[in-house]
Structure 1
Amino acid sequence: MTSPQDRPAATAARYAEDHAADYDRWFAKPGITEATVDTLAKLAGEGPVLELGMGTGRVALPLARRGFDVHGVEASEAMAARLRAKPGGDDVRLTLGDFAEVPVEGVFSLILVVGGTLFELASREDLQRCLTAVADHLEPAGVFVLDAHVPEALAVAAASGVPEVVSETDEHLILCHRRIDPSTATYRSHYLVHEADRTHHLRVRFHYASPGELDLMAERAGLRLRTRLGSWGGGPFTRDSTYHVSVYERR
């Protein structure tokens, strides 16, 4: 039996609370963030924007600086505190809570969940519940945007045994090794963070789903695929893509 501390939601929550102060330094992703914000700005429309799993504001704050009315949901109080402490943090309307519930009022022209965060939800039931709530909170012409690993590419990378270099600076080195459990459609990311002559070992569990599975779940929720990209840079989704950016609209 899986113990409570090994469940995806529990490990993600513990990671967020324990390492919120380090998150930006370790996982800032400046190049990817700029491309992400550029793509989202083109999709945002005129209405308010809602980010699920806002974290420390990596994407939300740049969107707000571009003039968008940004709202967000975040489960971790530590992450939320880091966001609020940043310049412009008070301009983002943040709700503490479980984003599977989408616990906000109103409708949005853009709802987003990025960085693979959607798959930190504890179960497929939570994922389906989240998608249904998203559809209820979308404006008629609004879009829902997510990114996710392609499972086949994830499996190939995991089988190689070669760790991925997540971040490398003069101050730190971060490596990631993933182990996949197809019996539960989950994978565990092991992050080794070496900094100041110390090594931290972080573990976070995620679910995974194929693009086709996501499309079926979206249809059950009242959404349909508008387009699928092979990267935040806007490239096409092809057989060589390792992740996808999927844009859904209301049916």
Structure 2
Amino acid sequence: MVDQQQLWDEEAAQSYDTPGTGMFSPEVLGPTIEVLKGLADGGRAVEFAIGTGRVAIPLAESGVEVAGIELSRAMVARLREKVGEDRIPVVLGDMATASAGEDFALAYLVFNTISNLLTQDEQVECFKNAARHLRPGGCFVIELWVPQLCALPPGHGGTVEVSEPGYILVDTVDVLHQRVVSHHFHFEADVDGGRQADVFRTPHRYIWPSELDLMARLAGFHLESRWADWSRAAFTAESRSHVSVYRLG
């Protein structure tokens, strides 16, 4: 069993933010906030696995009342360096079971975080927990990658997903249990001109879109929209990720 508190520790929390670049770039956050604000439609929003507030803070700044659930104390501490409890209240706990209240218009999970729940049962419970938070007709939004098993060479159990100066991402896959471990290698030049690597590993349980839709139905949701990304681009057989909007009731 993975200890998520140990995985998402103080070191991980302090290095998580990349202001202005990557998933913190305006090109990523702008469309994300636009979609979520529109779906909240004047109501309150709750973010499952709120982390350091990458999405919650700009969503709150846009005028949406936001609360959160987060398992990692270190991630919440980093969030608190940026915004107080009075602005964005956070419940410390598991997103599959913890409660931040009721009568929300919107619940959301971004950047693949539902896959941090490592069993199908836990992922189903996450949907049920979202339903408990929402008012009738509320939305649950999930951003998730599409498994790329077709990219696995015959006889190999992993793929290089990213290769750029200073960083390599390798995913190893257990297709029997729908598990992926992402190995993040960060390189820095040492004093002798060589390269030293720091490795950070994150386990996931991948979910096919059709499986996700069935989980939603078990919790009383139906699929309202599915896009390839936050710009609402069409989801196709070639899409590597999706943003899925589920409506309660």
TM-score scaled to structure 2, two decimals?
Answer: 0.88
Give the conservation status (yes or no) of the 8 Å contact 1:102–1:134: no
2:110 is aligned, of 79, 101, 114, to 114
Residues 130-166 of structure 1: per-residue CA shift (max 9 Å, x gap): 1112112211121000011112xx224454843414x
The answer for the alignment partner of 2:65 in structure 1 is: 69
Unpaired segments ≥5 residues, structure 2 = 191-195
Paired-residue identity, %:
34
AA in 2 matched with 1:206:
H
Q: SS of the counterpart of 1:142?
A: strand
Number of matched pairs: 236
* Maintained 8 Å contact 1:146/1:245: yes
| One-letter amino acid of the structure 1 residue matched with residue 199 of structure 2 | H
Question: Does the 8 Å CA contact 1:84/1:90 hold for their aligned counterparts?
Answer: no
Quick one: which amino acid aligns to residue 6 of structure 2?
R
The reply to whether residue 155 of structure 1 matches residue 149 of structure 2 is: yes
Which residue matches 2:175?
Answer: 182
- In the TM superposition, residue 196 of structure 1 has moved relative to its aligned partner by 6.2
Aligned ranges for residues 1-80 of structure 1 at < 5 Å? 4=1, 7=2, 10=3, 12-17=4-9, 18-25=11-18, 28-30=23-25, 31-80=27-76
* CA–CA distance in structure 2, aligned partners of residues 164 and 38 of structure 1: 28
Other structure's SS at 2:160 match: coil
Q: Secondary structure at the match of 1:184?
A: coil
Say if 1:60 and 1:75 are closer, same or farther in 2 by CA, change over 3 A: same
Unaligned residue ranges in structure 1 (runs of 5+): none
| Larger proportion of helix | 1
CA distance in 2 between counterparts of 1:91 and 1:69 reads 8
Please tell me whether the aligned partners of residues 8 and 72 of structure 2 are also in contact (alpha carbons under 8 angstroms): yes
Q: C-alpha distance in 2, partners of 1:53/1:158?
A: 30
Q: Return the alpha-carbon distance in structure 1 between the equivalents of residues 205 and 29 of structure 2.
A: 23
SS in 2 for 1:140: strand
Q: Note the aligned Cα RMSD (angstroms).
A: 2.0
Rg larger for: 2
Secondary structure of 1:91's counterpart equals: coil
Distance 1:107 1:217 in 2: 21
SS at match of 1:109: strand
